[in-house]
Amino acid sequence: MSNSETVTADDPGVLERRREDLNRVVYRFKQNPMSILGLCIIFGFVFIAIFAPYIAPYPNDAGYQNQPAVHFDQKFESPSAEHLFGTDQAGRDIFSRVLFGTRLSLRIGVVVLAAAVSIGVPVGLVAGYLGGGVGMALMRITDVFLSVPPLVLALAVSVALEPNLTNVMLAIAAVWWPWYARLTYGEVLSVKEETYVEASRGIGATSTRTIFREILPNVLAPITVKMSLDMGYAILVAASLGFLGLGAQPPTPEWGTMVSQGRDYMPAQWWYSTFPGLAIFLIVLGFNFLGDGLRDMFDVEVQ
Binding site for another protein (CB under 8 A): 1-4, 7, 10-11, 13-14, 17, 24, 27-28, 194-196, 198-206, 209, 213-214, 217-218
DSSP 81-100: SSSTT-B-TT--BHHHHHHH
For another protein, the closer of residues 83 and 295 by Cβ is 295
For another protein, the closer of residues 6 and 80 by Cβ is 6
C-alpha span between 206 and 214 (Å, rounded): 11
- Smallest gap from Cβ 46 to another protein, in A, equals 27
- Smallest gap from Cβ 229 to another protein, in A, equals 22
- Smallest gap from Cβ 182 to another protein, in A, equals 22
For another protein, the closer of residues 200 and 228 by Cβ is 200
The residue among 262, 291, 271, 293 whose CA lies nearest residue 113 is 291
For another protein, the closer of residues 218 and 249 by Cβ is 218
- Smallest gap from Cβ 206 to another protein, in A, equals 8
- Smallest gap from Cβ 226 to another protein, in A, equals 18
- Smallest gap from Cβ 272 to another protein, in A, equals 49
For another protein, the closer of residues 17 and 263 by Cβ is 17
For another protein, the closer of residues 175 and 197 by Cβ is 197
